[in-house]
Amino acid sequence: MNSALGIGMTSQRTRDRMVVRLQEKGIKDLKVLAAMANVPRHLFMDEAMAHRAYEDTALPIKHGQFISQPWVVARMTEVVVQQNPNKVLEIGTGSGYQAAILGQLVGQVFSVERIDDLTKIARRRFIKLGYSNVRTKTGDGFKGWENEAPYDLIIATAAPEKIPHELLKQLSIGGVMILPLGDSKNQNLVKITKINDLPGADGYSIEKLESVFFVPFLEGVVRK
């Protein structure tokens, strides 16, 4: 069914089917699956794309960016939920979909996006859907969201080539950072645990998870 109206009427059923496929692909956490069944992914993209919203694929949004693939969102959210965090910082709001999923499962989500237009569109979605525990601002993710630090967990949905050390500073001790690390040819999801406040590699441990592909983590803010 291609029309926006059709999607509206059948979205719960198509979403439930997506959740079954996510389970078949190895997503086990029932809370994560429930969040994926709740959040209307088709409202996080342009209407012209909405008929593909429940395919397990990344889709283009404005400004050459992407809404992440449902399986990747679910997998990263499983790692988040294992930590049982209350206060979470996301870098790379994009469509707002990952932030919305997190908002179903943790106390508060702060999300930073470098492209101001995307921040504004995502914020309107959170308001419209009543997701009042998700806040977003335009900023350079390399700098985090200092006023609200420390965070129990930080998740990045754009890939830096090196660990952004300012973000480690904004993590509480024992906190976890999940991010894709690497360039467009070789990227891995990594889980970093902050052990203490020592600078450099003495302050954290790092565990490699699966190979992924995300857009690059870029410096500076875009306002136009």
Q: Where are the alpha helices (H) located in 56-186, listed in sequence order?
A: 70-83, 97-103, 116-129, 165-169
- CB of 165 or CB of 198, closer to ligand SAH: 165
The b/e string for 153-176 (b: 16+ C-beta within 10 A; e otherwise) is bbbbbbbbeebbeebbebbeeebb
Give kind and range of the element (H or E) at residue 16: helix 4-24
Active site residues: 68
Helices (H), 25-69: 30-38
Residue 114 binds ligand SAH (CB under 6 A): yes
- List 76, 80, 91, 109, residue binding ligand SAH (CB under 6 A): 91
Q: Is the peptide bond before 199 cis (omega within 30 degrees of 0)?
A: no
Residue 215 touches ligand SAH, criterion: CB under 6 A: yes
Give the nearer residue to ligand SAH in terms of CB position, either 51 or 140: 140
Query: At closest approach, how far in Å is the CB of 202 from ligand SAH?
Result: 25
Q: Which of 66, 126, 145, 204 binds ligand SAH (CB under 6 A)?
A: 66
> What is the rounded CA–CA span in Å between residue 213 and residue 68?
10
Q: Which of 117, 140, 172, 191 binds ligand SAH (CB under 6 A)?
A: 140
Q: Output 175 or 180, the one with its CB closest to ligand SAH.
A: 180
- Tell whether residue 118 is a contact of ligand SAH (CB under 6 A): yes
In the complex, least distance from residue 212 CB atom to ligand SAH, rounded to whole angstroms: 12
Residue with smallest beta-carbon separation from ligand SAH: 94
Of 209 and 218, CB closest to ligand SAH: 218
151 sits near ligand SAH (criterion: CB under 6 A): no
CA proximity to 91, closest of 157, 151, 176, 160 = 157
Q: How far apart are CA 183 and CA 181, in angstroms?
A: 7
CA dihedral 127, 1, 63, 159 (to 10 degrees): 90
**Is residue 142 part of the contact set for ligand SAH (CB under 6 A)?**
yes
Looking up tokens 């870029």, which residue turns up? 218
Binding site for ligand SAH (CB under 6 A): 65-68, 91-92, 94-95, 97-98, 112-115, 118, 140-142, 157-158, 215, 217-218
